[in-house]
């Protein structure tokens, strides 16, 4: 099914991201800037990384949003059928 494919894509993207990035270092650096600097940190981290990491993040984001849309549809669909 399409939902399963999206889930597999998310899992593969997460695996790829862990292989490409030192995730614990990202969280260490993020903790050092605090909540007030989160937006600037995320923007800087995204723009100053390799193209493979950027592509992996984009794929993960698109597949994740698509999964959330599927979840929202499946949650709201039963209530709309009874109306």
Per DSSP, the chain holds a count of helices (H) and strands (E) of 4, 0
- Rounded CA-CA distance 28/34 in Å is 10
The arithmetic mean of pLDDT across residues 24-47, rounded, is 90
Give the pLDDT band (50/70/90) at residue 51. Answer: very high
Cβ-based neighbours of 41, under 8 Å, separated by 6 or more: 29, 30, 33
- Rounded CA-CA distance 59/20 in Å is 14
| pTM for the structure as a whole | 0.77
pLDDT digits (tens, 9 = 90+) for 2-24: 989 999 999 999 999 999 999 88
Give the pLDDT band (50/70/90) at residue 53. Answer: very high
Whether 53 and 17 have beta carbons less than 8 Å apart is answered as: yes
């Amino acid at each position: 099914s399409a939902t399963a494919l999206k889930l597999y894509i998310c899992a593969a993207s997460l695996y790829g991201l862990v292989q490409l990035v030192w995730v614990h270092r990202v969280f260490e650096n993020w903790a050092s800037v605090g909540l007030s600097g989160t937006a600037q940190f995320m923007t800087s981290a995204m723009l100053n990384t390799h193209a493979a990491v950027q592509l992996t993040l984009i794929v993960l984001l698109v597949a994740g949003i698509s999964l959330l849309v599927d979840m929202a549809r499946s949650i709201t669909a039963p209530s709309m059928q009874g109306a």
